[in-house]
């Protein structure tokens, strides 16, 4: 059976170009980038190249890039780093209800240490109102953290307006661009971002590597201490092969981004239009106008999303009920609830996410399979069986 992968917001396939860039680091350039000898300098050269590439990817300077283990660490370093570096007696953070758990759970942990956190609501498309951000700022606010694009529904936030408000109020602005990276152009200056998180595995680099952009002059306390790596911001011997892969993936994205986004968006739109034509009672979750080009979160009324995902998987199609980190959870998606959906509708929603490897032929195969699966699930499984199992 041919398998079709439409879960690229969970993770992506490593691009051959990326693998090619990594292999020599394991075979030959295995030195420690901090060593003074030739082996070390060779590794340092690879690190410098990757740093330049990632900087170029987000429109920053190389010395503003800190390599990390991925999105979760980047988000933690940004938020905890700013909070712990601040000497203020009272500290306040503004974020939103639709952030990834890497941000939400970090904020919740900080609340337990006495930090105040405002979780802003979103509208029915998942958009934050910049005026709500402005109104939430008070004397104690030290950080605004609003994601670029949502991992479940793809909604892209008005970052330019929010960044401008942060700048006017002299508050640090962090954006989690983990899902946006490799799908749309990233520009820290356009958004006045002081901190921006990315993770390699969402754009065809391997898992376990990412980066945090830190604007020059930003006060940040490291999460772990040790050597002077990464300009004292992230101690530990650099993972040169993975970082070289991250740099190659960034370069690949920069070189083909416009065409990549357009091709994927056309395919996604074709998929959506055909689903609406072939399957009754389907609705889109999120914003049609302001969203990632690859994401389609669809609500199949009266069909249970977990049953849909399992039955599609049995037919060779991989998709998801939402965030991979939350899968297996019996709780409804916090993102869909924040849009105002009732629990039954949150439990009827499935995310399809495409990549540069998705083909028209694959989409056509999914379109043939989907109507039958939806109809079977509607007949067989009560929506929210998970919900009832809980009570
Ligand atoms: C928006 C967002 N932020 C953060 C993360 C966490 O990234 P990582 O899995 O690299 O730790 C993810 C991963 O799904 C994400 O989608």
More confident residue, 152 or 391: 152
The pLDDT of residue 251: 98
Percent of the chain beyond pLDDT 70?
Answer: 96
How far, in Å, is the centroid of ligand 1 from the Cα of 105?
12
How far, in Å, is the centroid of ligand 1 from the Cα of 41?
32
What's the whole-number average pLDDT of the chain? Answer: 95
Residue 120 beta carbon below 6 angstroms from any ligand 1 atom: no
pTM comes to 0.96
Residue 196 beta carbon below 6 angstroms from any ligand 1 atom: no
CB 327 within 8 A of CB 308: no
Cα separation, 17 vs 28, whole angstroms: 18
The pLDDT of residue 223: 96
The pLDDT of residue 382: 73
Q: In the structure, what pLDDT confidence band is assigned to residue 331 with cuts at 50, 70 and 90?
A: confident
HEC states along 220-249? CCCCCCCCCHHHHCCCCCCCHHHHHHHHHH
How far, in Å, is the centroid of ligand 1 from the Cα of 61?
24
Residue 320 beta carbon below 6 angstroms from any ligand 1 atom: no
Which whole-number Å values give the CA distances from 47 to 12, 18, 178, in the listed order?
23, 14, 21
Cα separation, 125 vs 290, whole angstroms: 9
Residue 6 has pLDDT above 90, yes or no: yes
Cα separation, 265 vs 55, whole angstroms: 26
Q: Which domains does the chain have, with CATH numbers?
A: 4-11+257-390 (3.90.1150.10), 16-253 (3.40.640.10)
The pLDDT of residue 1: 80
Q: In the structure, what pLDDT confidence band is assigned to residue 208 with cuts at 50, 70 and 90?
A: very high
User: Tokens 């994401």 sit at which residue?
Assistant: 295
How far, in Å, is the centroid of ligand 1 from the Cα of 72?
6
Q: Looking at residues 296-314, what average pLDDT do you find?
A: 96
148: nearest Cα among 84, 81, 71: 71
Q: Looking at residues 165-177, what average pLDDT do you find?
A: 98
- Choose one of 102, 174, 223 to mutate for the ligand 1 pocket test, by most ligand atoms within 8 angstroms of C-beta: 102
Residue 385 has pLDDT above 70, yes or no: no
Ligand 1, closest atom to CA 147? 1
Cα separation, 238 vs 304, whole angstroms: 44
Query: Which residues are catalytically annotated?
Result: 325
Q: In the structure, what pLDDT confidence band is assigned to residue 191 with cuts at 50, 70 and 90?
A: very high
What residues form DSSP beta bridges with 19? none
């Amino acid at each position: 059976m041919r398998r079709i992968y439409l879960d690229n917001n969970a993770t992506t396939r490593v691009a051959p170009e990326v693998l090619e860039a990594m292999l020599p680091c394991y075979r030959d350039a295995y030195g420690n980038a901090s060593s003074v000898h030739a082996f070390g300098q060779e590794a340092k050269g690879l690190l410098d190249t990757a740093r330049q590439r990632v900087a170029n990817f987000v429109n920053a300077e190389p010395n503003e890039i800190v390599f990390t283990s991925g999105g979760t660490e980047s988000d933690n370093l940004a938020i905890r780093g700013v909070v712990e570096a601040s000497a203020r007696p009272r500290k306040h953070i503004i974020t939103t209800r639709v952030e990834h758990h890497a941000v939400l759970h970090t904020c919740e942990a900080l609340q337990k240490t006495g930090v105040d956190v405002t979780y802003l609501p979103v509208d029915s498309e998942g958009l934050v109102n910049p005026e709500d951000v402005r109104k939430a700022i008070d004397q104690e606010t030290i950080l605004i953290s609003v994601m670029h694009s949502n991992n479940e529904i793809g909604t892209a936030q008005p970052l330019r307006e929010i960044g401008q408000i942060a700048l006017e109020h002299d508050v640090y602005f962090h954006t989690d661009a983990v899902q946006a990276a490799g799908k749309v152009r990233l520009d820290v200056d356009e958004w006045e971002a002081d901190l921006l998180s990315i993770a390699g595995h969402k754009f065809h680099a391997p898992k376990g590597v990412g980066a945090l952009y830190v604007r020059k002059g930003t006060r940040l306390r490291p999460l772990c201490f040790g050597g002077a790596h990464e300009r004292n911001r992230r101690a530990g011997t650099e993972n040169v092969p993975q970082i070289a892969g991250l740099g190659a993936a960034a370069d690949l994205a920069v070189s083909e981004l416009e065409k990549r986004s357009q091709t994927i968006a056309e395919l996604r739109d074709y998929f959506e239009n055909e689903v609406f034509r072939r399957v009754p009672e389907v609705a889109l979750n999120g914003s049609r106008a302001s969203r990632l080009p690859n994401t389609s979160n669809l609500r199949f009324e009266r069909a249970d999303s977990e049953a849909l995902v399992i039955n599609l998987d049995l037919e060779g199609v991989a998709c998801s009920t939402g965030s991979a980190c939350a899968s297996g959870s019996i709780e409804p998606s916090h993102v869909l609830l924040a849009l105002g959906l009732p629990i039954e509708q949150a439990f009827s929603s499935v995310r399809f996410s495409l990549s540069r490897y998705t083909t028209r032929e694959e989409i056509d195969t999914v379109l043939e399979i989907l109507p039958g699966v939806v109809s079977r699930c509607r007949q067989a499984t009560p929506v929210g069986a998970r919900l009832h199992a809980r009570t």
